A and B are shown apart, each in its own frame.
Chain A
Amino acid sequence: MVSQVSLTGGAKSMSLIVTKGTLDWAYPPFILATTAAAMGLNVSMFFTFYGLPLLLKDLDLKLSPLGNPAMKMPVMGAQMGMPNLVSLIPGVEAAASKMMKNLMAKKGVASIPELRALAIEADVRMIACQMTMDLFEYTLDDMIEGPELGGAATYIEVATQSDINLFI
């Protein structure tokens, strides 16, 4: 058995810096945070820049096929990408986002609101970047219950006490 005790004595711990808020990029931090918490780690997430809106009460996440040649979706047995010129057409981004959400539901992939709720339930510590709150003019009232406010020094303190630190 791998020891679950960290070198600092307590349970192992992990921190994540969450910088991206599109539908696709929202997955890695929430999947890893919830799984690590389920495996007994103390988990902290620091939401900054475009990652910060992932804490908003109302989530309507979108992804963009524009400039993303790696994004392909299975359509009738083939892997379909989207040329940039097509992605530029109004409504295409919303349609692609809807397609991805449908695909995820079909494949039994959890939604981001579901994973976020599970993270909160598992006592994942969430820190909202104060500077980004000011920059984009958000208040804590816009956010779900639970996140605390903090800055770079708050995160660095968390990182110095964590066994795993990830930037996503």
Chain B
Amino acid sequence: MADQLLDATGLNCPLPILKAKKALKDVPPGGTLEILATDPGSVADFQAFCRITGNELLEHGEQGGVYRFVLKKTA
């Protein structure tokens, strides 16, 4: 279980990233944030977001049109 869950389903670019950034504020250092999204663009975007911000993308996958990401707050 991640420390925080963000449901960004139904939201389009760039809202999943913006909401994730906000949600990360409430995650303790080293903690995790799970994000659910339906925007197919979020797959590439969360990878880029993590590369630039230094947070770690622990998991990403897709099931039934819903993309799931787990970020570890390392920055």
Within B15-39, the residues touching A (CB, 8 Å) are 15, 17-18, 20-21, 38-39
Q: Which of A31, A40, A107, A110 contacts B53 (CB 8 A)?
A: A40
Q: Which of B12, B20, B52, B53 contacts A109 (CB 8 A)?
A: B12
A34 CB within 8 Å of chain B: yes
**Given that A2-B52, A4-B52 are contacting pairs, would A38 and B10 also be in contact in the complex, using a CB cutoff of 8 Å?**
no
Total contacts A-B at CB 8 Å: 43
A side interface size, CB within 8 A: 14
A39 CB within 8 Å of chain B: yes
1/0 contact trace for A1-16 toward B, CB 8 Å?
A: 1101000000000000
Binding site for A on B (CB under 8 A): 10-15, 17-18, 20-21, 38-39, 49, 51-54, 75
Binding site for B on A (CB under 8 A): 1-2, 4, 31, 34-35, 38-40, 107-110, 118
